[in-house]
Amino acid sequence: MTIDDPHTPLRQDIKLLGYLLGETLQELEGEALFERVEEVRVLSKGACAGRAEAGALLEQVMSEMPEDEAITVARVFAHFLALVNIAEQYHRVRRRQHALDEGAPQRGSLPEGLQRLLDAGVSPEDLWVTATEMRVDLVMTAHPTQAARRTLLRKYATITALLERRDRIHLTPQEEGDLIDALRREIAAVWRTDEIRQTKPTPLDEVRSGLVPFEQVLWDAVPDFLRLLDRELVQRTGKGLPLHAVPVRFGSWMGGDRDRDPNVTSELTRRAVAMARQRAAALYRDALSTLYDELSMNQASDELLAEVGEQWEPYRALLRPVRERLERTRLWAQAIAMGEPPPYAADEVYTDVVELAAPLLLCDRSLRACGDDVVADGRLMDVLRRLPAFGLVLAPLDIRQEADRHTEALDAITTHLRLGRYSSWSEAERIGFLIRELNNRRPLIPQALWDGTADDLSPEVVDVLQTFAMAAQQLPGSLGAYVVAMAARPSDVLAVEMLQREARQRFNAQAAPLRVVPLFETWDDLTAAGRVMHELFINPWYRQYIATTHTDRQEVMIGHSESAKDAGRLTAAWALYQCQEDLVRVCQQHGISLTLFHGRGGAVGRGGRPAHAAIRSQPPGAVDGTLRVIEQGEVIQAKFGAAGLAAQTLELYATAVLEATLMPPMKPKPEWRVAMDSLSERARKAYRRTLHEDGFVTYFRTATLEPELVALNIGSRPARRRAGGGGIASLRAIPWGLAWMQIRLNLPVWLGVGAALEAALREPHEEHLLAEMVDQWSFWRSTLEMIEMVLAKAEPGVAARYDAALVDGTLAATGEELRTRLERTRAAVMKALKRERLLETNPDLSRSIAVRSPYVDPLNLVQAALLKRSRESNDPRLLRALMVTVHGIAAGMRNTG
């Protein structure tokens, strides 16, 4: 890496990958097509540089290009953008390693973060206690509109590994040539692989894909991270990380997230848990095989010898049956996952992580008693650290279901029992009924309802009851939380507690009750969250239940996606901040510890932002040693797609949570709150006013590919929560953001922001106040900088081309007005940040956008043309071609919404 320009290696990697892609194109598709791609690339670069004649000629070339040729050109650019992503992601790893080698670790790394906390006055003891008690849960879920296939993601991982080998190992000329050949083969295989799914993925497909990062990266990355944390704690506090301490753990929503998705059933959830258990057993079995080979010594402690008797190789004698039982566990779980009768009884397999840990802990004690600490601190310690991190299922599965579904179920139950209609009762009546049943030891729900044989049950009610029945019959450690989506009142939580208690009674549950986690999503629900939790905590039954069952800890989830779609990004950001303040205050008032669960998406419009900035911008007390956060789809690939990326991500989360806990940010000044209230209200009104303007919904569905999303095979989940209607209310937040991102307008992030800032900046006092907030308040600064980043990615000229192709004269004014507001918002944000141009303080991102734009712009031209042809001809074959452009634009913009 050169001293003058640390990005030289990145440019070299991009140049190499681009050259190999071009070479592949020449060999497999011919010289003529290669020259056409080069022509489009040169014209697009010229257009991005501001040469109007190049832009005009590019449009002409693309409009006259035959459809098949245009699609192939789009494929080339899409693959190049994917290769750029690979190079950039690896470059992050390279810069991290270079900084460590130079003794100047990057901000957010463990060496830098721990030392910075000590330098700020945190005592070594406080640092050690907080680090060992910290609990960060990263909850993996499939992106409902993730573009890239699992097959391609695996090939991208291979390319990343080859770049790393080329970068870190001193190669002979022959080895260098062999490595280039390997890259060439992999890129050729990528080109020959159909990037479009033949069929819509099922939830089980998403479960399989979701397990890949655990098998390929996290299984090794987690013990490596914990080894680094242990070493840094010893160096800075004099004490290492206890074996049981796992600051970062994992959860999953894949196979458990219902949210009105008819494809996710109780049987599917049961199979998803079994699939995860099968993969975990295989990983532990392989790890035990390696340990078996390593622990060949014949000296052991009396304790271990008493367990195995006189054996020549006592450790192997102890581990042999463990390994065999793990294989039985794998086969047992595999049969359940396939819907077949298991070949072994439950007592012949591992169902409890404590049982698996016992012989391994015995090995550890014996090795240390015999002076073999160096052996104990190796692979054996890695396996012991994996046990609390991954359990027997890699990531406990959360269940998410919408609150209204529980209301429907209780309505059916009370009607069947002739108690009245639960749905028509007041909130007080609902709570009274639920608490009476929770205090009543006799079961309420008759067997006919559990069986689904009663003739007055809808399929939706049967599914809800079967889900509770399935959850009650799962083994300990299989499931995590029960998330109540669209929670709005205390009875939404109590309803789940009552249904859970009924199922646990009926089916003799072995595992502890699931944590019931209300999810507050809309702007109205966020503003009421504190009041709702207060009403729950003053309920004597619930307060006692939290104390005895969940050790005085309450988990609450807050939704970033729906709130932004409902009220706009700026208003949602402030509502989320105040909601967290309210929840912290209410929990402190009632003596309850709070874990906040953030439902962020990858895109900024859905709450996405760099982990360190996101955590550090939360209000004081919101991150008190604990944090749960969703990691979704393509974000998983970007953060955990390779070992170096995973290590960096885990360090960033750990250091940010430590910093937020031990050095919480300052409270906002009263005048800042007044300013934010005003900005939020102005932004919300402007946002909602636009969404309700005449013609807006029609324009949205005409100028974007939102109507086509239903037909594209890019996710298992329906694009809308409820069937019928083409409005925005029923549309999920992800396709809402995806549609605008694809045409490069990025409207959900900035709409309303410009109007709010312009009004504030007209007043000198408010302008000064906003500048003070940027300088001193991390929440406001990071919020504006995220909006700035999205504005830098927006291209109103590209959006105008969609209008030219798809929008008739009566709607054209709507698009023109939106693009005008975009430009005014850019000016207002730059003024608020005191900047002459967007991203002037973030040259790396600015450079990345500049590299990508010449390759994304032609994809947009092809997509607009395909949309026009598809709507005119109704030819379903065009949808596959359209998906090529969706994939490429998503890769170029670094998110799918």
Supply the residues annotated as catalytic: 143, 565
The H-assigned helical ranges of 692-746 are: 696-703, 733-742
Residue reference for tokens 């309420």: 444
The C-alpha angle with vertex 556 and arms to 572 and 511, in degrees rounded to 5, equals: 150
Indicate the burial class of 508 (C-beta count within 10 angstroms; 0-12, 13-18, 19 or more): exposed
Kindly give, in sequence order, each residue whose CB lies less than 8 Å from that of residue 829, ignoring residues fewer than 6 positions away: 750, 753, 754, 757, 784, 787, 788, 791, 838
SS (H, E, C) 327-382: HHHHHHHHHHHCCCCCCCCHHHCCCCHHHHHHHHHHHHHHHHHCCCHHHHHHHHHH
Report the alpha-carbon distance of residue 715 to residue 710 in Å, rounded.
9
Cα 860 off chain centre by: 26
- Mapping DSSP to helix (H, G, I), strand (E, B) and coil, where does residue 763 land? coil
* Three-state secondary structure string covering 641-676: CCHHHHHHHHHHHHHHHHHHHHCCCCCCCHHHHHHH
φ, ψ for residue 828, nearest 5 deg: -70, -40
- The residue among 877, 840, 884, 830 whose CA lies nearest residue 860 is 884
**Residue from 780, 831, 750, 573 nearest 675 by CA:** 780
Tokens describing residue 289: 């095989």
Token code pair at residue 21:
């892609």
Name every residue whose Cβ is closer than 8 Å to that of residue 320 and which is 6 or more positions away in sequence.
292
Nearest 5°: CA angle at 255, between 194 and 505?
170
3-class DSSP state of 724: coil
Phi-psi region at 724: left, alpha or beta (left = phi > 0; alpha = psi -120 to 50): left
- Quick check: 646 and 217 in contact, CB under 8 A? yes
Between CA 622 and CA 661 the distance in angstroms is 9
H or E stretch at 630: strand 626-632
**CA-based R_g, the chain, Å:** 28
Give the pair of three-digit tokens for residue 301: 């402690």
Q: Which of 818, 705, 865, 867 is nearest to 58 (CA)?
A: 865
What are the strands, taking DSSP E only, across 63-190? 135-141
Continuous segment of H or E residues that includes residue 792: helix 778-793
CA separation for the pair 39, 24 (Å, rounded): 17
DSSP string spanning 493-543?
HHHHHHHHHHHHHHHT--SPPPEEEEEE-SHHHHHHHHHHHHHHHTSHHHH
Distance CA 748, CA 105 (A): 36
Report which secondary-structure segment, H or E, holds 91.
helix 67-101
Cα gap 609→781, rounded to integer Å:
13
Residues 6+ apart with CB under 8 A from 271: 204, 255, 336, 337, 338, 339
- Residue 485, SS3? strand
At 443, the amino acid letter reads: P
